[in-house]
Structure 1
Amino acid sequence: MCGIAGIVAKEAGRYLPALDAMNAAQRHRGPDGEGRHAFAECCLGHVRLSIIDLAGGAQPLFDTRGTSAITFNGEIYGYQALRQELDYPFRTGSDTEVILALYARYGTHMLPRLPGMFSFAIWDDQRKRLFCARDRFGEKPLFYALGKSGEFIFASEIKAILASGLVEPKLNLDGVSHYLAHRHLPANQTIYGTIQALPPGHSLILENGDLTITPYWSLPTTGEPLDMDTAAQRLEDLIRQAVERQLVADVEVGILLSGGLDSSTITAVCSPLKRLRSFSFGFSGSRSELPYARQVAEHFGTVHNEITEEVIDVPKMMLALARIYDEPFADPSAVPTYQLCRFVSQHLKVALSGDGADELLAGYTYWYRHLLRGDASGPAGGKNTFWSKTAERHWQDLLYFTPDEIKGMGLPAVRRPRIGQVTDSLDDALRMDLQGFLPADILVKTDRAAMAHGLELRTPFLDVDLAEFLIQLPWQLKMQGSSDKLLLRKAFENIWPEAIRKRDKQGFGFDVRNWMQRPDMLALRHHFLGNANRKIYALIPRKTLAACLMDTGFKGWIMLILSLWLETSPCSIN
């Protein structure tokens, strides 16, 4: 995993100091090396976390003619097989060069052939063309902006774009509305109106001054159900294939083990292939999952490591998270995820996780169960081309501040998402989460928390072959009544420890209400929500802030993080 950066402009060599500042701002993503190159109209930068081809994988990497170069962040799983298919004079053993080889053969039409998690930029100096892309689910970030003098700037993190000094930071009020509703920004926007996020599954071409954003992938449509036995066998085969692909590295690979179904399955599949080190986080009291994680570790013979919930310096932690995420981000599981990633990074550079399985296999039972009741359990005539009753109910369930509350603050209306295929069934909710909650919350959380410590996280459930298979299966193979992840249980429960088989989904995060009532949090709330000199008073009505100051639930938490972020942000509020 790495950090990428670049500037497209005339006499691009003039911008090397700005590029150096961008690399420096995201060096945590790539502490093992740094590179840069200036063409006449583009300069590319890269900071490297060495995982594959430790000696020969430095970037920017040039093609054999020296006319195109790439800066790349991510991993191309199964890249060895792709090498065999391409007639290209490879000079390194890196997966990065496979992307250049695909570009040499297929040009900008290469993306359907590219697996893995990635964001990259190729500068084609013959065509004076910048070609960028982001992976299908948004595992790896890519941001871009237009500079004050017409420069085109891109980077892996917002802080790097700001470090260039070429972009004026302006607040995006639509982004503020979305954040208040959902506790995170959408996958295709940022909190800055002057900085954009390339959406997952999209490419970007800048050529002759024209910018084109194009989708190259979308969720496949839900098909007819398979019988359970056939589907379970196919699932097992695809998970094993995905894990084998993602264990490829020139450094040690570990696993984040919660003791839930998803990470336990990945651990089970890994165990015959190699002995892993596993890492678990334990909360205090009855919420701790450590007993389950220990059983799984013992059952499959991992070298197990644990950390427990610390006594946290709250102001210090929240300020650190504001800097790491670059935007207001109020998922409470960001705190333990950050602590766990910091712990893992002290031992190794790469770890597998079970993320993505909940969205693919209907694991969020606390959201989904009530959608199976009444007219939301199947087609009921309550739908149109773009929306359905089920979609509306699920969207409403995900809100923290309501649209009316946000409108009352004088902010723009909250927009409903497009979900593609509409069936007025639980599949509508799953598609909404795959396109919204997964890329905008879960994958943002894990990328920033891991890369803050130079740790690469890999997600076997988001392997494209596996994920597409699961997306096409109807919800009836995933959930019935109170039973979740039916297909995963059918495929793997015989090899799980007994205690794991009976487990339901447990969230990975602290209790916000308990946290908000701590004495140090009370002081923090008054400091950022009760002080009229704070920036947030120019954005949010006093009456709303007074109510949030007294609220010890999610509304108070979300508004507190917004105020704290505003104080650390360079943007002003008019």
Structure 2
Amino acid sequence: MRTFAGAVADDGRARLLGVARRMTSEAEVSGGAAPSTPPSVKLAVDEVASGLAVLRTARSCEVAIGLDGVVALVAARLDERASLAARLGVDAALGDAELLLAGYRRWSAALPGEVVGDFALVLWDPAERRLLCAVDPQGIGLLFTAELPTGGVAFASHPTPLRHLLGDELRLDTEILARYLCRLPTEPSRTSFVGLRRVAPGTTVAFQLRDGSPRRTVQRYWDLSSFPRLQLRSPEEYLEAYRSALERAVTRRIGGEGIVAIAQSGGLDSASILGLAARGGAGPRLRPIYVAPLEASCDESELVTQLEGHVGVPVLERRPAADLETLRRVGEAVGEPRYLDHFPIAWSVLEGARAAGATRLLTGLYGDLVSGSVPASAWLPSLLRAHAWATWWAELPRTSHWRMLRTALGSIRSLPTSEPLLRHRGGRLRSRWFGEVSCLSPSARRELGIDVAEEEFLIHVARGHRDVADYRARWLAASAPEETELLGRAAAVMGIEAAHPFGDRDLMAVSLSLPLALLRKNGLGRHPLRVAVTGTVPEGLRTWQRKILFTDFYRGMFARLIPELARLPLAEPLRPLLSSHRLEALVRKGSWSYPEGAHLWRCLAVNAWLWKHSPKEPPRPPR
């Protein structure tokens, strides 16, 4: 387990001892079946400084205490350590916590903006009575905070310790719960519980603990504009910059020792990571894990077999576990009633990584930054500015007539008239995105503003984007962090660090700087990546034109899980939110489209999570 927690409060040590006993007791009752705390992991609670108590395991974080009493707790994978140490005038051999403690003395609260890598950082300054929490810009590091009723502050790298710490004082946030059920985006710092907040990527959260209750301030030290835009002279220089940054990103995350697992598929992103890592000499330490879907239409095993023979590294194959027990374990690992839609695959990969003895898991997340698959409303402004009409025209014959029609319609979407039209005629688009039936009660939709939120979300989608770089940057800010966060939580409780080479800061800066003409060539997206891995992956995979879409997998998961989940009556917290009549009608339908099925299974999965924590009635027999 890679989880740590702390509290700045008069009763902080006593509270954390209670958390440790509860987490240890749950592990003993489950016999190790629950992932939150394996019985072999020993939790220790120490009063490391005046007013600060910490709960941790041997591997969860590093702690350093300065002569002035300042304490640094760090869970990190730092890049450019030698450069950082040279700027600080200290030995590069210092541990992560000691190095960042020296950085705090130099830059104070501006320290996170000077660090490159994946990190979760907590600094306690007893003289200033200030607690500072920060995570890296991509949100690979995880931190959560909560203000205690006694006037103190608690923090943790996972929600579960804070849930145990607050106990009966913790309440569900019904607005966030409803937005999650309806597949609407939420504010990055909010969780499913009132008062339990996440430290958002690229921000610092400071608590001043003088004179009564803590005073919380949030400051953003990084945003999308922080990425420098490269201005190179030729396409060859851009492609070389991308190749060099990609190889460096993979090397950084492979490290020099230990077993490293890779979430493998037949796609180019994960294949590139395996190929580059094997070419760099890490082959004996690699454990690529492919989860073969139960649906034949989603099977990529043929491509995976080609890759295995080409790189000379055996690929471990597993089957997804789309059952209630897996759902329960994922819910416990995530720590709140939220799930990744592809949780059977993600969880099977994590179980395979743990069985292989891996301490790090690499994924292909963020590879879409160079896909070139963006709406025409994003392409057209870039084409006008970049004078790349020849490239666009050359691509048209390679696309289907349906795609050409979608391109034309996509450009129309960005016209100013689209917003009033959408407000009056947006019913079909709304049903396509959110489904035709909502299980939320009409009163809950009105009180929580769900109808307004859906309308504003669709208008945001229809408005278009300034250019391709703007689209990719907005996608990066809106979509990728949630998947990164939930996967990171589940990995942490299994003692695994999730890492994403395509999320490397240097590589992302290059990706967002690539000219439009380099994103696609010969009808294929990801052109910079395809050039970078020439000879590294099988040629058939490198030039493969189709990527498996997992819509069939989701439908299969719905068909297997929904009848089982529907056995449970509604838990008390969901009764004011959901209409039981609508829920039962949708369950009886028996066959669901992706938006309807996703909405329904989220409602039922959240109900199962809440039922475990507050059961009210015995389960009904299946109908």
Go from structure 1 to structure 2 and tell me whether the alpha carbon gap of 1:522 and 1:59 turns closer, same or farther (over 3 Å shift): closer
Q: Which residue of 2 aligns with 1:49?
A: 59
Cα offset for 1:150? 2.2
Go from structure 1 to structure 2 and tell me whether the alpha carbon gap of 1:398 and 1:101 turns closer, same or farther (over 3 Å shift): farther
Cα offset for 1:341? 0.9
Does residue 1:36 correspond to 2:46, yes or no? yes
Instruction: Summarize deviations over 1:9-42 as a string: whole Å, max 9, x none.
Output: 2464454424645875854699487463343322
Does residue 1:524 correspond to 2:568, yes or no? no
Please give the secondary structure, in 1, of the residue aligned with 2:511. Answer: helix
User: CA–CA distance in 2 between the matches of 1:541 and 1:481?
Assistant: 50
User: CA–CA distance in 2 between the matches of 1:475 and 1:173?
Assistant: 42
Please give the secondary structure, in 1, of the residue aligned with 2:74. Answer: strand
Cα offset for 1:212? 1.0
Q: Which residue of 2 aligns with 1:456?
A: 497
Q: Which residue of 2 aligns with 1:235?
A: 242
Q: Which residue of 2 aligns with 1:55?
A: none
Counterpart of 1:288, as a letter, is: D
Counterpart of 1:218, as a letter, is: D
Cα offset for 1:218? 0.4
Q: Which residue of 2 aligns with 1:245?
A: 252
User: CA–CA distance in 2 between the matches of 1:152 and 1:294?
Assistant: 51
Instruction: Summarize deviations over 1:89-117 as a string: whole Å, max 9, x none.
Output: 67x65333322221122111111221111
Q: Which residue of 1 aligns with 2:398?
A: none
Higher Rg: 2
Cα offset for 1:244? 2.0
Unpaired runs of at least 5, structure 1: 51-57
Does residue 1:216 correspond to 2:204, yes or no? no
Please give the secondary structure, in 1, of the residue aligned with 2:578. Answer: coil
Does residue 1:484 correspond to 2:485, yes or no? no
Counterparts of 1:300-449 in structure 2, within 5 Å, are 300-309=311-320, 314-362=323-371, 373-374=407-408, 376-377=410-411, 382=416, 399-400=433-434, 408=442, 410-411=444-445, 412-414=448-450, 415=453, 423-440=465-482, 442-449=483-490
Range with bigger deviation, 106-115 or 67-76: 67-76
Which among 66, 69, 72 is matched to residue 70 of structure 1?
A: 72
Q: How many residue pairs are counted as aligned between the two chains? A: 549
Misfit runs of 4+, over 6 Å: 363-372, 395-398, 402-405
Counterparts of 1:43-122 in structure 2, within 5 Å, are 43-49=53-59, 59-63=62-66, 65=67, 67-88=69-90, 93-122=94-123
Counterpart of 1:82, as a letter, is: L
Does residue 1:544 correspond to 2:585, yes or no? no
Q: TM-score, normalised by structure 1?
A: 0.83
Does residue 1:287 correspond to 2:288, yes or no? no
Counterparts of 1:92-171 in structure 2, within 5 Å, are 93-165=94-166, 168-171=169-172
Q: Which residue of 2 aligns with 1:53?
A: none
Go from structure 1 to structure 2 and tell me whether the alpha carbon gap of 1:339 and 1:32 turns closer, same or farther (over 3 Å shift): farther
| Preserved CA contact (<8 Å) 1:232 1:487 | yes
User: CA–CA distance in 2 between the matches of 1:39 and 1:571?
Assistant: 40
User: CA–CA distance in 2 between the matches of 1:396 and 1:471?
Assistant: 30
User: CA–CA distance in 1 between the matches of 2:605 and 2:185?
Assistant: 11
Please give the secondary structure, in 2, of the residue aligned with 1:120. Answer: strand
| Preserved CA contact (<8 Å) 1:12 1:40 | no
Cα offset for 1:500? 0.8
Q: Which residue of 1 aligns with 2:267?
A: 260
Cα offset for 1:165? 3.4
Please give the secondary structure, in 1, of the residue aligned with 2:337. Answer: coil
Specify which structure has the higher proportion of helix. 2
Q: Which residue of 2 aligns with 1:470?
A: 511
User: CA–CA distance in 2 between the matches of 1:546 and 1:33?
Assistant: 44
| Preserved CA contact (<8 Å) 2:4 2:55 | yes
Query: Percent identity between the aligned chains?
Result: 19
User: CA–CA distance in 2 between the matches of 1:30 and 1:137?
Assistant: 32
Instruction: Summarize deviations over 1:51-82 as a string: whole Å, max 9, x none.
Output: xxxxxxx743223x161222222321332443
User: CA–CA distance in 2 between the matches of 1:303 and 1:23?
Assistant: 37
Please give the secondary structure, in 2, of the residue aligned with 1:45. Answer: strand
Please give the secondary structure, in 1, of the residue aligned with 2:525. Answer: coil
Cα offset for 1:124? 1.6
User: CA–CA distance in 2 between the matches of 1:458 and 1:129?
Assistant: 30
Range with bigger deviation, 37-46 or 258-267: 37-46
Task: Indicate the RMSD between aligned Cα atoms, in angstroms.
Answer: 3.9
User: CA–CA distance in 1 between the matches of 2:343 and 2:318?
Assistant: 16
User: CA–CA distance in 2 between the matches of 1:399 and 1:375?
Assistant: 17
Please give the secondary structure, in 2, of the residue aligned with 1:182. Answer: coil
Go from structure 1 to structure 2 and tell me whether the alpha carbon gap of 1:331 and 1:19 turns closer, same or farther (over 3 Å shift): closer
Go from structure 1 to structure 2 and tell me whether the alpha carbon gap of 1:370 and 1:569 turns closer, same or farther (over 3 Å shift): farther
User: CA–CA distance in 1 between the matches of 2:181 and 2:192?
Assistant: 12
Please give the secondary structure, in 2, of the residue aligned with 1:160. Answer: helix
Cα offset for 1:125? 2.1
| Preserved CA contact (<8 Å) 1:144 1:196 | yes
Which among 599, 603, 607 is matched to residue 559 of structure 1?
A: 603
| Preserved CA contact (<8 Å) 2:469 2:513 | no
Counterpart of 2:346, as a letter, is: T
Go from structure 1 to structure 2 and tell me whether the alpha carbon gap of 1:542 and 1:279 turns closer, same or farther (over 3 Å shift): closer
